Chain A
Amino acid sequence: MTDHPVARLQSRGTRRWLKGHAALVYLFLYGPIAMLAVLSFNDSGLPTSWGGFSFRWYGELLRNPAILHSVANSLVVAFFVTLIATAGGTLLALGLEQGRPSTALDSFVMVPMIIPDIVLAIALLSFYTTLQFTLGLYSIVLSQSVFVMAFAAAVVRTRLRNFDRSILEASVDLGADGWTTFWRVTLPAILPGVIAAALLSFTLSIDDFVIAYFSAGAGRSSTTFPMQIYAMIRFGVTPTINAIATILVLVSVTLMLTAQRLAREAQP
């Protein structure tokens, strides 16, 4: 059997229409990104004329100290956000998957994921201002960790759901206490999910602009990579952005594909 049972019930015409539609959707999703990637190797830097293949714009990128500084900032922030969000997200997932499912709790945990980033950003800015925090890289870490944690929890939960709980009971029956069971049974079983959550956290942190922008304070010293990109885009169409785009897309895609593999591996 190659076709899905539902697919067999549909007429050939409907099926063909669905396939054509899906092809256009994928073209829509990938066309713009692919175009930037091609343009990044265009020596003329213009979207309209091909000036020959070159790495010129990548070279320019590496010679720009402001960009390099912002990348370093983003990496530092992403490292700490990944630590906090992965640890918190894993605990959250373990707690939520234990006991009876609660729609109210599930909805609450969705709030950090769904809240418009501008709202969270200004709420946190008001919060820090009221507490008279000096803003900087560490306030970016605190701000990002909240919504990233919720996403991390979602990834670990997927993994937890596909895992056979009877081995936990077996472990307890064999005399292991809760702590031993966690370290020796639960954690190894969900570890791929935890690593996937870490990769996702890193990606989300590296890409976040709005929340970082409002939590960074006024100084240029805590400019992150997306803030730098935003300034460049506002300034106008610059060919260097094409090179940045290509690198960023490659990094995110690699991280996310790895995460996907880990989160889903060994699924029934």
Chain B
Amino acid sequence: MTVRAGTIPVAAPADPRARERLLLLAGPLGWIALFLVVPCLLIGIYSLFERGTYGGIEWNFTFENFRRAADPLYFGILIKSLWIAGLATAIALLVGYPAAFLIATSPERWQKLLLVLAVLPFWTNYLIRSYAWIVILNREGAINNLLRGLGLTSEPLPLLYNEFAIVLGLVYAYLPFMILPLYAAISRLGADLIEASTDLGADGWRSFRRIILPLTLPGIAAGSIFVFVYSLGNFITPDLLGGGRTVMVGNLIYDQFLTARDWPFGAALAFILIGIMMGLLTLQAFLINRARRIGTYD
């Protein structure tokens, strides 16, 4: 049997749509790979070598940078960062869930407006939003002046440059990013589902706990992961509202790169953050896959 060359699709993929998809994705995914994946891998490599005497890298393999991250001084900062980020996430969830619930169950024509209003602040300048809290919280600021004017305090309260201010600033900054996925998850709930559970005799709280809460878990996970990861790696808020001392791991990384010039150690710290982020994203993908399987997520 003779076959003319050119009539057999030798290497072409069986599905033309798959080829089209590859064509579309090659450019942008390559871009992300070049300017995100490669630099992050580079950080991973840097973290395994020694620092040079005058900054830069000495190509001697070592685990010292990671060992140093476990040093009580730095480990303490890492733990404190996890604590602050966790606290900010928990508060944002507690504040954001009822707000998202109200938005999602409002009359149709209100929903869009309320949602846009909730998310809009996120798109305004981060530095400006932090600065607003400096004006509000400082010793001569809006709150202290109000309290003194009312005769409630004689000495200004130390509201700024502490952990309280950092957590407040983080919740303020990222609350919109908590509300958005929660809204999406809650508005996906079928009313008939909740109605059925109520008809079967479950009271409000129980139907919330047994039905609404588990079904909105992908939304809770998405919002919490965003707020947690953003908070954990933040360095502007601790820098501006926390008083400039090295308080969180973001500041520590900043210092290693711009002040101490110990890039390998800074890279190791950044790599730990990447690890935490990847772990949480995997967890989220797992939750979404499970929800897809039981049919509560499209």
* Interface of A toward B, CB cutoff 8 Å: 2-7, 9-11, 14, 17-19, 21-22, 25-26, 28-30, 32-33, 35-36, 39, 47-48, 88-89, 91-92, 94-96, 98-99, 103-104, 106-112, 114-120, 122-127, 130, 142-143, 145-146, 149-150, 153, 178, 200, 203-204, 206-207, 209-210, 214, 226, 229-230, 233-234, 237, 241, 244-245, 248-249, 252-253, 255-257, 260, 264
B236 near A4 with CB under 8 A, answer: no
CA distance A18 to B73 in the complex (A): 44
A-B contacts, 26 of them at CB < 8 A, read A21-B102, A26-B117, A30-B121, A33-B121, A35-B142, A47-B142, A47-B145, A48-B145, A89-B28, A91-B25, A99-B21, A107-B281, A112-B36, A114-B225, A118-B234, A118-B250, A126-B267, A149-B32, A150-B32, A206-B125, A207-B123, A226-B125, A229-B127, A237-B138, A252-B124, A260-B116
Assess A248 versus B36: contact at CB under 8 Å? Given A18-B102, A114-B229, A264-B112.
no
B172 near A28 with CB under 8 A, answer: yes
Q: Is the interface of B mostly helix, strand, loop or mixed?
A: helix
A114 near B226 with CB under 8 A, answer: yes
Partner of A25, one of B99, B124, B277: B99
A127 near B281 with CB under 8 A, answer: no
**Count of CB-CB pairs between chains A and B under 8 Å:** 266
Chain B positions within 8 Å of A114 at CB level: 225-226, 229-230, 277, 281
Chain B positions within 8 Å of A33 at CB level: 121, 124, 128-129, 132
Chain B positions within 8 Å of A91 at CB level: 24-25, 27-28
Assess A6 versus B134: contact at CB under 8 Å? Given A33-B124, A116-B234.
no
Partner of A110, one of B134, B138, B281: B281
What is the minimal beta-carbon distance from A238 to any residue of chain B, in angstroms? 10
Assess A11 versus B42: contact at CB under 8 Å? Given A98-B17, A252-B125.
no
